[in-house]
Amino acid sequence: MLTSRIIGFGSFLPPKIVTNDDLAKIVDTSDEWIFTRTGIRTRHIASDGESTSTLAIEAAKNALKSAKMEASDIDLIVLATATPDKTFPATASLIQKAIGGSKTCAAFDVGAACSGFVYALSCADGMLKGGLAKTALVVGSETLSRVCDWTDRTTCVLFGDGAGAVVLKAFEENEHSIKNKGIYENLIRSDGNMFDLLVSTGGPSTSELCGKITMNGREVYKHAVNNISNIILELLAKNNLKTTDIDWYVPHQANLRIIESIAEKIDIPLDRFILTIGETANISSASIPIALDTGIKSGRIKSGDLIMMATMGGGFTWSAGLVRI
């Protein structure tokens, strides 16, 4: 039977770093407020000439290098993003153009806000297991700085820009076992009744503009803790696993307090979680692949480790993925 394994990791953060003190010069805030409420110290911000595609291309190249694969081996590119370069075509097509995907390559974008990466991974995993592609690039890339309202201190301090990518490859296995390396199972969920709680003020078919981020922070916080904790426990229970069977938790990086509350709810120490929020802030669909790459590069995530990814975002959407690296 066909299974899919993650064989390469990459990320890219734009060089420009903006500190909380820098933000305190443009809105009424402070390093102390931001850090104690969110755990964020800095964020990377795209400069003129950088965009979601340019960040994605660098992350994709780094992932290909780590997988020791040629771009011509790639026959599927799935990009998760809420901040595409253009309303259409898909920004994934620009990644294909830049890296030179194969002539039989498919490329498309997935939009599920901060849950986007696990949604995109789920699509690519299903296509590899179904024999529709052999080697896939799955990328999360965002330039959230372009959709922040820089006069709104309640949102602009939370977000940053960056990209992360993985390479997936189809393998023949005798059985689909949790003991084997590979993507074991993903769960993806949505509740459209919560649409207005975390939403852009515009869009091509409503305002003809992309709009700016608005959110009900308290409601988002509450649902993020509950949905992420519950989907982790659901995925573990479905596979007769205990929370302690997971080597590393790789959660969406929205807010350190959200991650601390999840750790407390599932009764796992925070040091089993890969954290990047302090340096990167919230990069929506890029946050999980960046955290994966950070975990690999720091030597914490090792070959054979069992990883639980979990996230929640606008929609509301939420998702979790169980992968042996």
Give residues in contact with ligand ACO (CB under 6 A).
29, 33-34, 37-38, 114, 153-154, 157-158, 198, 215, 217-218, 220-221, 224, 252, 254-255, 282, 312-313
Q: How far is the CB of 303 from ligand ACO (least distance, A)?
A: 30
Which of residues 108 and 221 has its CB atom nearest to ligand ACO in the complex?
Answer: 221
Give the separation between CA 138 and CA 86, rounded to whole angstroms.
19
Taken in order 304, 306, 112, 17, the sign of the CA dihedral is: negative
* Partners of 302 in the β-ladder: none
| CB 103 to ligand ACO: min, Å | 37
Q: How far apart (Å, rounded) are the C-alpha atoms in residues 146 and 131? A: 38
Minimum gap (Å) between residue 248 Cβ and ligand ACO = 20
123 is catalytic: no
- Which distant-in-sequence residues (6+ apart) come within 8 Å of 76 by Cβ? 105, 106, 107, 124, 127, 128, 132, 133, 135, 136, 137
Q: Catalytic site residue 148?
A: no
How far apart, in whole angstroms, are the C-alpha atoms of residue 142 and residue 116? Answer: 11
Catalytic residue among 20, 105, 114, 186: 114
Q: How far is the CB of 221 from ligand ACO (least distance, A)?
A: 4
Whether 252 sits among the annotated catalytic residues: the reply is yes
Which of 129, 257 has the CB closer to ligand ACO? 257
Strand intervals (E) in the chain: 2-12, 17-19, 42-44, 76-80, 106-110, 135-143, 161-172, 182-190, 198-200, 213-215, 248-251, 306-313, 317-324
Nearer to ligand ACO, 215 or 306 (CB): 215
- Among the options 44, 62, 223, 252, which is catalytic? 252
Q: Which is nearer to ligand ACO, 4 or 200 (CB)?
A: 200
Question: Shortest approach of ligand ACO to residue 298 CB, angstroms?
Answer: 23
Q: Which is nearer to ligand ACO, 98 or 210 (CB)?
A: 210
Number of other residues whose CB lies within 10 A of the CB of residue 48? 5
Exposure letters 28-45 (e unless 16+ CB within 10 A, then b): ebeeeebeeebbbbbbbb
**Closest residue by beta carbon to ligand ACO:** 217
Q: What residues are labeled active site?
A: 114, 252, 282
